[in-house]
Structure 1
């Protein structure tokens, strides 16, 4: 890589470019730790109450410290000793450290993910080459995401079991730290950025697939999730596989309401976007967990 500064959003190839499967690169061997044993001098004589109190405080203190360290590791906080791997840092490397099938499985089961708790199954029909973000988002969404930068963007498009709906799911790996991701998440929540139709993500329409007519005018429902325990933004956008245009798209949160009578909601496209995004996000978290597990 060049030593010069990299713009927040790098050029991306045109849509429809053939997918390129990244080679599998194994994670480094996890570090092992050895606890040194200290020689304890025998205590002579009957302990005094003051001494017993001091010993109890030491034991309690060590227990609290140990609990804090364990809790930090389980929650993925980057407060470990220098040289150890935190979950946040490990997540930021997944775009080139794991095979595409682990991030975007060929088949995704969505038990209870459909309207009324019905089951869903999605089949992957296209994987975009990992790219920058210059041509991957509409200008306003690119501007909203600019504070966290764009390290790499991974996308895949799926079709449902009936082949009537198509959904693109994306993983935007950012250059941000936890503070910046937390700030962006707060802004999305406060300003409702994930509900604005002018901030919908673009689909990936691969030629020769059921999604080849899945363009900007075909976007029907979408969801966006800014993670704070990983430098990643997860999103999904769904539409009809027959290429029909959608005059009034709905964010997934609205389209999933039981009392919604809009065509997008009635077709279950909100459930398609949210269900697939949620399961790809879960797969991402499981991959991070396996990468940062410490040996027993």
Structure 2
């Protein structure tokens, strides 16, 4: 007979030694008397067992060996399996059947794996950007073009519209001119500061805000309103707009003449729509801004034939605007305000943190 597995109790025989088994028949009393009782087994006064031994508390492989039933060998004519010698390490405590290799804690192993994976991803990204020259991996450095979009609310008014402008060689015959700021408008919505046809023309670039100021020349004979229209357009969009204004000649249409800005109680009080004599309208180079200037007589006279500055500054022009030099006034003031805007954009971009 094959010995029972370690940790299990051998089955009790159901018949006396040498007797044939009888299903359903009670066990012979003499066989019971000749057997050693299980630990904890209860007996009747006649010696018969009243119940089976209690099951072991543990049922896992960590059980300590259970000695075989001594009566099992007595009740059989063949040799019983020899009881195994308990290991030397057994001293009433449970032992493992085979050594279990120690493992590092699960959290520590997961943390190490995350660190290794993270370093691999970072290294791969850096290597990939180095090999491909991916510009997205490089920090974004602000330039004057993008910085200029926010200048309408972040730059002092005296920077964008100085109190005094010097126009060396800006007048007819390259005469020097000087202009003094008379009034400054609060930042305005495009629909309030510009005529409707011009607002529609600017719609593809997203007109954001308009800044305006009005200057008077040193003789007090002319007034000029200068403006900066800030847009959301990118470089291609602004290039397309510039083509429409120049090649498409939209900048020369009278329905695109910007509004004047006047303030009651100042020399600009009589400077309105009917006083507009000459104007300039163009995309400012290097920034997403449209610059303009519109000039007229300071005495409030009405002009019936306004003329673009480009035509009013041509030698031999005979219009009222040309003879009064109002085309030079518009171009001279617009040029200096636009130069100041580009300088402010460059300075702001340079000072921005990298």
Q: Is this a same-fold pair by TM over 0.5?
A: yes
Q: Report the equivalent of 1:166.
A: 223
Q: Is 1:132 aligned with 2:192?
A: no
Is the Cα–Cα contact under 8 Å of residues 165 and 333 in structure 2 kept in the other structure?
yes
State whether structure 2 residue 329 is matched by structure 1 residue 265: no
Question: Using the alignment, how far apart are the partners of 2:225 and 2:163 within structure 1?
Answer: 13
The correspondence for 2:140, drawn from 69, 80, 83, is 83
- Helix, strand or coil for the counterpart of 1:234? strand
Q: 1:232 aligns with which of 254, 277, 289?
A: 289
SS at match of 2:219: coil
Match for 1:249 among 306, 311, 318?
Answer: 306
Task: State the Cα distance separating 1:79 from its structure 2 match.
Answer: 9.8
Listed as ranges, the matches of 1:54-65 within 5 Å are none
Q: State how far apart, in whole Å, the 2-side matches of 1:225 and 1:79 are.
A: 33
Q: Deviations over 1:27-46 (max 9, x none)?
A: xxxxxxxxxxxxxxxxxxxx
Deviates most, 197-206 or 117-126: 197-206
User: After the TM superposition, which residues 1-296 of structure 1 pair with which residues of structure 2 at under 5 Å, given as runs?
Assistant: 81-293=138-350
CA distance in 2, matches of 1:220, 1:271: 12
- Cα distance in 2 for partners of 1:269, 1:79 equals 49
Instruction: Determine the C-alpha separation between the residues in 2 that align with 1:79 and 1:262.
Output: 55
Deviation at 1:145, TM superposition (A): 1.3
C-alpha displacement of 1:80: 11
In structure 1, how many angstroms separate the alpha carbons of the residues matched to 2:138 and 2:279? 40
Do the aligned partners of 1:111 and 1:120 also contact (CA within 8 Å) in 2?
yes
Deviations 1:15-74 (A, max 9, x none): xxxxxxxxxxxxxxxxxxxxxxxxxxxxxxxxxxxxxxxxxxxxxxxxxx9xxxxxxxxx
Give the whole-Å Cα distance in 1 for the aligned partners of 2:188 and 2:204.
18
Instruction: Determine the structure 1 residue equivalent to 2:80.
Output: none
Provide, for residues 99-143 of structure 1, a one-character-per-residue CA deviation record: whole Å limited to 9, x for no partner.
000000000000000000001000000000011111211111111
Distance 1:126 1:155 in 2: 9
Residue ranges of structure 1 left out of the alignment (5+ in a row): 1-64, 66-77
In structure 2, the gaps of 5 or more residues are 1-132
Contact 1:181 1:228 survives alignment (8 Å): no
TM-score, normalization: structure 1? 0.71
Distance 1:90 1:213, change over 3 A: same
Change (3 A) 1:228 1:161: closer
Partner Cα distance (1:83, 1:258) in 2: 48
The whole-number CA distance in structure 1 between the counterparts of 2:136 and 2:296 is 42
Distance 1:265 1:186 in 2: 26
Q: CA deviation at 1:259?
A: 0.9
Q: Secondary structure at the match of 1:168?
A: strand
Instruction: Tell me the secondary structure at the aligned position of residue 247 of structure 2.
Output: helix
How many residues are paired up?
Answer: 219
- The 1:79/1:186 distance shift into structure 2, 3 A limit, reads farther
Q: In structure 1, how many angstroms separate the alpha carbons of the residues matched to 2:138 and 2:308?
A: 42
Runs of 4+ in 1 over 6 A off after TM superposition: none
Give the TM-score normalised by structure 2. 0.59
Distance 2:138 2:156 in 1: 29
CA spacing shift, 1:84–1:163, aligned 2, 3 Å? same
